[in-house]
Amino acid sequence: MIPLLILYNPASNATRKPILPMSLLALGALLEGRHEYAIVDGNLEADPLTTIDRLVRETGADLLGVTVMPGPQLKSAVLHCRMLKELHPSLTIVWGGYFPTQHYDVCLRDRCVDYVVRGHGEVVFSALVAALYAGDDPTGLPGLAFRAPGTGQIVSNPLAPIPHPGRLPRFPYHRLELGRYIRPTFLGKRTLAHHSSYGCPFFCNFCAVVNMVHGRWLAQSAEQTADVVRYLANTWSVDAIEFYDNNFFVHEARTAEFAERITDLGIAWWGEARIDTLLKYQERTWALMAESGLRMIFMGAESGSDETLRRMNKGGTAATEKTLVIAAKTAQYGIIPEFSFVLGNPPDPEADVRQTIEFIRRLKRVNPNAEIVLYLYTPVPLPGDLYDQATSHGFRFPETLDEWISATWLDFSQRRNNHVPWLKDSLRRDIRNFERVLNAYYPTSTDRKLRGALRLILKAVSAWRYHLRVYRYPLELRALHKVIAYQRPETSGF
């Protein structure tokens, strides 16, 4: 009997929202017909550790592939893998995903991880599985990091080429109870996700995607992407799709053709874009996108300062003006723009925050429906101006998994309460206070529970603060929040 192979998605959010584990579907697509495997999803299973332990005992499973993002998912991955190694010392554990790709050395310093596959890993993983089952030495595989036999030294081979999503087999949806992943969102009653491209052609120096793909972008064709959407709409009555691509809109002709192909389905959709890319789109493409059901576009505006944007390597010249132009453009087509900002950047985080807050106010004047999502600058190990500034302030990444899963670093990973040397507590508070006033004065349209009257109340109560720029001590808004519980704009959570 060929032993079962287990693919594990540790819980990726506190509320255990069921989110399609596409990383595992991508791995599974290349295992179909070659290996017996099972997917264990920590977002759905009450006790995934017991499930995996049982599968290992009952089936003799000896290989576990784990997908790992920084944050709470990393914590579950560490604790569960350590436990499983103790129970089953001969279980081979392979990690992949964004965290191990960047911090493979930290992962492999811990005995609960045997191999790390770096980058987009389905092809390498399937080769690794084949090598391990054949008893061959896998250490020559590109994209593989491991402890060298004998010396124990940690080695990473150069990354493998990125597999082309247009040439990969379709996701094996039948391996999951797909119905459990369909959920109501602001887009529709039955929303599901898809991922139609790998990578991004840009090099913003705060972004983890760069280390993953080094400027490559490869995509399914418009026809293939539309076929997936059609399948999900026809077979699963899905009425809304969230595209989790890092940058869905890179290729205008693909976007236009995709929009044309799905217009008859009457679904709503959402995706992520670069502002400067969209500014080059023709009017016809905008019309097609709007007609096809594109409801909202997530864009990294990042900063209200052209100088900070230059240091981030983002947006070219007069980048902030481009954000204002796109805010007006989306309003013209009835598409809601969702702008994310990265605040508190070194070397002068105070000035950076002040400038960006003023810019957000300008942006809201241009398009009051624009959604604003605020993050704190969180370094990624990527050479460049920002990371150099961070390290010159004494910033360093943890060297052990234990440190990574401590409360401080979990907060850091979630870009919430960064304990970074250049950001004072008072400034962090100022940002949160501004956000509270902003979200009250402009309640997000993604909040499905917030009806007309409640919106008016929030706006009325916060108006004086917003107009007079009095953001400090918003005690009454905090109290109101307890009663009305208004939320931040909903994104796909990153």
Report the C-alpha gap between 170 and 167 in whole angstroms: 9
Residue 469: CB minimum distance to ligand SF4, A: 29
**Mask: binding to ligand B12, 124-163, rule CB under 6 A, as x and -?**
-x--------------------------------------
Nearer to ligand SF4, 71 or 443 (CB): 71
395 binds, among ligand SF4, ligand B12, none (CB under 5 to 8 A by kind): none
If one asks whether residue 94 binds ligand B12 (CB under 6 A), the answer comes out as: yes
Residue 165: CB minimum distance to ligand B12, A: 8
247 binds, among ligand SF4, ligand B12, none (CB under 5 to 8 A by kind): ligand SF4
DSSP 8-state assignment for residue 381: S
Nearer to ligand B12, 102 or 367 (CB): 102
User: Tokens 């290349």 map to which residue?
Assistant: 30
313 binds, among ligand B12, ligand SF4, none (CB under 5 to 8 A by kind): none
330 binds, among ligand B12, ligand SF4, none (CB under 5 to 8 A by kind): none
- Contacts of 35 by beta carbon, 8 Å cutoff, 6+ apart: 2, 5, 129, 133
Beta bridge partners of 192: 241
Nearer to ligand SF4, 20 or 208 (CB): 208
Nearer to ligand SF4, 375 or 404 (CB): 375
Contact criterion met (CB below 8 Å) for 43 and 16: yes
Nearer to ligand SF4, 246 or 292 (CB): 246
Contact criterion met (CB below 8 Å) for 492 and 241: no
Q: Which of 69, 229, 309, 326 binds ligand B12 (CB under 6 A)?
A: 69
Which residue's beta carbon is nearest to the bound ligand B12?
Answer: 96
If one asks whether residue 23 binds ligand B12 (CB under 6 A), the answer comes out as: yes
Nearer to ligand B12, 76 or 292 (CB): 76
274 binds, among ligand SF4, ligand B12, none (CB under 5 to 8 A by kind): ligand SF4
Give the end-to-end CA distance of the chain in Å, rounded to a whole number: 41
Q: Which of 202, 206, 244, 258 binds ligand B12 (CB under 6 A)?
A: 244
Strands 154-156 and 191-194: unpaired
DSSP code per residue over 16-81: ------HHHHHHHHTTTTTS-EEEEETTT-S-HHHHHHHHHHHH---EEEEE--TTHHHHHHHHHH
Residue 207: CB minimum distance to ligand B12, A: 6
If one asks whether residue 493 binds ligand B12 (CB under 6 A), the answer comes out as: yes
Nearer to ligand B12, 30 or 324 (CB): 30
In 3D space, the residue among 317, 309, 417 whose CA is nearest the CA of residue 359 turns out to be 309
Contact criterion met (CB below 8 Å) for 322 and 273: no
Q: Among residue numbers 398 through 427, which ones bind ligand B12 (CB under 6 A)?
A: 413-415
The DSSP H or E segment spanning 155 is strand 154-156
How many Cβ atoms from other residues are within 10 Å of residue 407's Cβ? 10
Q: Which of 49, 67, 202, 257 binds ligand B12 (CB under 6 A)?
A: 67
Report the C-alpha gap between 335 and 297 in whole angstroms: 7
Reduced to 3 states (helix: H, G, I; strand: E, B; else coil), residue 93 is strand
Nearer to ligand B12, 396 or 451 (CB): 396
Nearer to ligand SF4, 37 or 248 (CB): 248
If one asks whether residue 367 binds ligand B12 (CB under 6 A), the answer comes out as: no
Residues that bind ligand SF4 (CB under 6 A): 200, 202, 204, 207, 209-210, 246-247, 274, 300
Look up residue 43 and give its two tokens. 């977002």
Output the CA angle 121-122-125, nearest 5 degrees: 80
Contact criterion met (CB below 8 Å) for 391 and 347: no
Contact criterion met (CB below 8 Å) for 18 and 184: no
DSSP 8-state assignment for residue 6: E
If one asks whether residue 117 binds ligand B12 (CB under 6 A), the answer comes out as: yes
Query: What does the binding site for ligand B12 look like in residue numbers (CB under 6 A)?
Result: 9, 12-13, 19, 21-23, 26-27, 43, 65-67, 69-73, 94-99, 117, 120-122, 125, 195, 208-209, 244-246, 380, 413-415, 492-494
